Structure 1
Amino acid sequence: MAATLSLEPAGRSCWDEPLSIAVRGLAPEQPVTLRAALRDEKGARFRAHARYRADAAGELDLARAPALGGSFAGLEPMGLLWAMEPDRPHWRLVKRDVQTPFVVELEVLDGHEPDGGRLLARAVHERHFMAPGVRRVPVREGRVRGTLFLPAGEVQFPGIIDLYGSVGGLCEYRASLLAGHGFAVLALACFRFEDLPECLSDVRLEYFEEALAFMLHHPQVKGPNIGLLGVSKGGDLCLSMAAFLKDNITATVLINACVANTLVPLYYKDLSVPSLGYDQTKMKIMESGLLDLRDSWNNPLEEPNHQSLIPLEKAQGPFLFIVGMDDHNWKSALYAQIACEHLQAHGKDRPQIIYYPETGHCIDPPYFPPPIAFVHSVVDVAIF
């Protein structure tokens, strides 16, 4: 009996959807190795492998069988995806064109040698970034530049504005996946995209106010409130929006964000918020050769850095802080705790904090491999 590799859903699924992987037709307790691989749009290859042993009936279900080693170990049904590593150093898996899938190749090899066993079974699976019926609508409204993702149907949906960090450009894959869960999501560019300013320092908060107005007036966005989602610099921009454009913002999710305004001063009408400074001499080179910035940032609770703190007491909640415990960009866990204490001191609800170990600074949607490093746009050096 030939071995077969079974995937459910068969053929295609969304990237953030769990994938059931099973092998049948093996010999009782047969040792096998499973491999997975894909290529991104730049041609970089990502791979993972894991060693398993079939049960007494010659079957292997990754939801019940622990990996015995390889790229990961233990019971990890989706490990063949999230444990993928790039062939290129410091290369991060991102999706540049959400209208096309990643094509994942899965193989079953006899024995526990990832590169030497006889091929027993093979399957190809498409992992898509737009659920069936999701619409991608480019936005060029006034000064606002981005992409609006709308779920299937002609009704109204809760609205979210999605902001990335200090790299600029337009990143769509998180917004496109969220739309598959019933949200109208605007992936918003703010600099280094089309006719937008080339530098973040030239972006004013009025731009985000205009994006908020666009969402509130869209016929398929359910008002009168909007949620915000931001990572890194995008996170503190979301906090500034919640504090200064507060009337229609009622939920904010921050991924490895700072509670102070960072990198460049923030301007809004007659308001000017200085940026949190840093001491370049306190940057550290880790044993891996990567850069650690955590101790280089000034303490936002001390003067004169206190002026860079974002006045969270002016914002409406709730707040959710998602924190990578080994974030080497800044002290995300400490900043989340500062936010808790600050909000409670002003009679606000304590924000929820979710901690994730071994994820670094860039926490992506489910099943993306945590990047070992990325090149920081400010210091132009790879950090974790």
Structure 2
Amino acid sequence: MVASSFTVLRASRLCQWGWKSWARLSGPPTLSTGGRTTWARTNATLSLEPAGRSCWDEPVHITVHGLAPEQPVTLRAALRDEKGALFRAHARYRADAAGELDLARAPALGGSFAGLEPMGLLWAMEPERPFSRLIKRDVQTPFVVELEVLDGHEPDGGRQLARAVHERHFMAPGVRRVPVREGRVRATLFLPPGTGPFPGIIDLFGLGGGLLEYRASLLAGKGFAVMALAYYNYDDLPKSMDIIHIEYFEEAVTYLLSHPQVKGSGVGVLGISKGGELGLAMASFLKNITAAVIINGSISNVGGTLQYKDETVLPVGMNPKRVKRTEDGLKDIVDALNNPLEGADQKSLIPVERSDTTFLFLVGLDDHNWKSEFYAREASKRLQAHGKEKPQIICYPETGHYIEPPYFPLCKASLHNLVGGPVIWGGESRAHAMAQVDAWQQIQTFFHKHLDGDKRTITAKL
């Protein structure tokens, strides 16, 4: 069940480096003039727990001390990604009668979000440059978040009362990063602290190509050996997806299972978007895929041809006339793909009914990339019709396409490689943020259950 508030979240034991972080800015008292109230107290302190640094998927407790009773203030948060793109959020608050402000107890009065949202300053961030998506490209360095407390309710006009800088890391203490260049496989393996062996997972992203490591690195901190796998547009891999050979993924499974710190006779697959579709293909054609989490994936092949030995899965057709325009002039492509159950497009269907894998489908009900709920339910029908286990499907209302680890802001629109322009991805910021927190726990619980096979381990990890 989706958590109703972020107040129920607890800090991960893996990422607590300290207890408190303080920032202080002092100055002379301010006078009252012209009948307008100004606030004389300037010895405000901004406190964050855990101190100074934490893992990205870990909640932070933010408090402000030393304000005047019921003083109105604005809190701002900002970070820049590795390319220099700026993301920021702000919210208006009022101190309590003792001059204290605790974001776990005080509702925001407006701004980038409203209501009791202790982590809103992160998940509500929006890009300064349109169509930018927050992505961590180098997991060995943190995102540096700057937090400010400003006097009054003007996000760009108030006097700064306090400031703090907080590092948000993507590798928990002891997690090891191992580049993989074995045969054709191009990947990065993340290993938890200790000698293991650990349950193994292959992590796949979507149409952007390249090698994204941030989800794998975070998940390794939860006790899994996670291999972030590139499959095109990286290093010496093909530059396009015209033909994707499933044998490449088979080689990756063989490598992971042969690693001395990976246990069991099977691995898990975690895939989103095109990566979810490829996860379904791996589970359908390959052995040793024990469990798979499919995040907004498709049961029909999209974009290029899938090839495994002498079998071919053709791409589903697309009708550009079904692409709509939003009021902002952006493209809405949710209806663009043909129905894979009709006519020649049935040749695009991935034969999921062959699979003996245990599945978890995570679905954003406002996904505007494609009809993810329809695909998940059709996969379920086909599996059950062939006597296979009914998969678990979790649907999240008002949630868009990119269901990320917790506290990544909603990407409302960005460039689409196949469409060649900006498209909308769906979702409402708060609901999407809540879905990401729940989905992250669902992923961990599912993989611990089906890869560890030890319910005591599941309880210990939550």
Q: Normalising to structure 1: TM-score of the pair?
A: 0.97
1:15 and 1:358 mapped to 2: Cα distance? 23
- Per-residue CA deviation, residues 194-227 of structure 1 (Å, 9 max, x unaligned), is 1111111233000000000000000111121100
2:395 and 2:48 mapped to 1: Cα distance? 31
- Name the residue aligned to 2:57: 16
- Name the residue aligned to 2:261: 220
The Cα of 1:352 is off from its aligned counterpart by 2.0
Instruction: Check the 8 A contact 1:93/1:368 in 2, yes or no.
Output: yes
**Aligned match for 2:305, one of 265, 282, 288:** 265
- Name the residue aligned to 2:242: 201
Q: Which residues of structure 1 form unaligned runs of 5+?
A: none
Q: Which moved more, 1:334-343 or 1:352-361?
A: 352-361
The Cα of 1:356 is off from its aligned counterpart by 3.0
SS in 1 for 2:335: helix
CA RMSD of aligned residues (A): 1.3
Q: Which moved more, 1:332-341 or 1:190-199?
A: 332-341
**Aligned match for 1:79, one of 105, 120, 128:** 120
Q: Which moved more, 1:225-234 or 1:310-319?
A: 310-319
- Name the residue aligned to 1:299: 339
Instruction: Check the 8 A contact 2:246/2:308 in 1, yes or no.
Output: yes
Is 1:128 paired with 2:169?
A: yes
- Name the residue aligned to 1:142: 183
Q: Which moved more, 1:92-101 or 1:309-318?
A: 309-318
- Name the residue aligned to 1:325: 365
**Aligned match for 1:309, one of 336, 346, 349:** 349
- Per-residue CA deviation, residues 105-160 of structure 1 (Å, 9 max, x unaligned), is 00111111111112111100000011111111100000000100111111111111
SS in 2 for 1:321: strand
Q: Which residues of structure 2 form unaligned runs of 5+?
A: 1-40, 425-462
Instruction: Check the 8 A contact 2:243/2:306 in 1, yes or no.
Output: no
SS in 2 for 1:22: strand
- Name the residue aligned to 1:383: 423
Q: Which moved more, 1:209-218 or 1:58-67?
A: 58-67
The Cα of 1:340 is off from its aligned counterpart by 2.3
- Name the residue aligned to 2:143: 102
Is 1:172 paired with 2:210?
A: no
The Cα of 1:281 is off from its aligned counterpart by 1.7
SS in 1 for 2:379: helix
1:24/1:40 CA distance change after superposition, 3 Å? same
Instruction: Check the 8 A contact 1:36/1:80 in 2, yes or no.
Output: yes
Q: How many percent identity over aligned positions? A: 69
1:343 alignment partner AA: L
SS in 1 for 2:418: coil
- Name the residue aligned to 2:401: 361
Q: Which moved more, 1:81-90 or 1:277-286?
A: 277-286
2:138 and 2:390 mapped to 1: Cα distance? 38
1:85 alignment partner AA: E
Instruction: Check the 8 A contact 2:108/2:117 in 1, yes or no.
Output: yes
SS in 1 for 2:228: strand
1:40 and 1:229 mapped to 2: Cα distance? 25
Instruction: Check the 8 A contact 1:50/1:67 in 2, yes or no.
Output: yes
2:397 and 2:161 mapped to 1: Cα distance? 36
Give the length in aligned residue pairs.
383
Q: Which moved more, 1:158-167 or 1:356-365?
A: 356-365
Instruction: Check the 8 A contact 2:272/2:297 in 1, yes or no.
Output: yes
Instruction: Check the 8 A contact 1:242/1:252 in 2, yes or no.
Output: yes
Instruction: Check the 8 A contact 1:359/1:370 in 2, yes or no.
Output: no
- Name the residue aligned to 1:41: 82
**Aligned match for 1:187, one of 228, 232, 246:** 228
- Name the residue aligned to 1:115: 156
2:253 alignment partner AA: L
1:202/1:309 CA distance change after superposition, 3 Å? closer
1:292 alignment partner AA: D
- Per-residue CA deviation, residues 34-91 of structure 1 (Å, 9 max, x unaligned), is 1000111111111100011112222111111111100001111110001001110111
- Name the residue aligned to 2:387: 347
Is 1:50 paired with 2:50?
A: no
User: Which runs of structure 2 are paired with 1:210-289 in the superposition (5 Å)?
Assistant: 210-245=251-286, 247-289=287-329
Q: Normalising to structure 2: TM-score of the pair?
A: 0.81
Q: Which moved more, 1:232-241 or 1:329-338?
A: 329-338
The Cα of 1:345 is off from its aligned counterpart by 2.2
1:16 and 1:257 mapped to 2: Cα distance? 23
The Cα of 1:96 is off from its aligned counterpart by 0.8
2:388 and 2:93 mapped to 1: Cα distance? 50
1:223 and 1:103 mapped to 2: Cα distance? 38
2:373 and 2:291 mapped to 1: Cα distance? 20
- Name the residue aligned to 1:27: 68
Instruction: Check the 8 A contact 1:29/1:56 in 2, yes or no.
Output: yes
The Cα of 1:19 is off from its aligned counterpart by 0.7
The Cα of 1:358 is off from its aligned counterpart by 4.1
SS in 2 for 1:199: coil
Q: Which moved more, 1:209-218 or 1:356-365?
A: 356-365
1:81 and 1:117 mapped to 2: Cα distance? 21
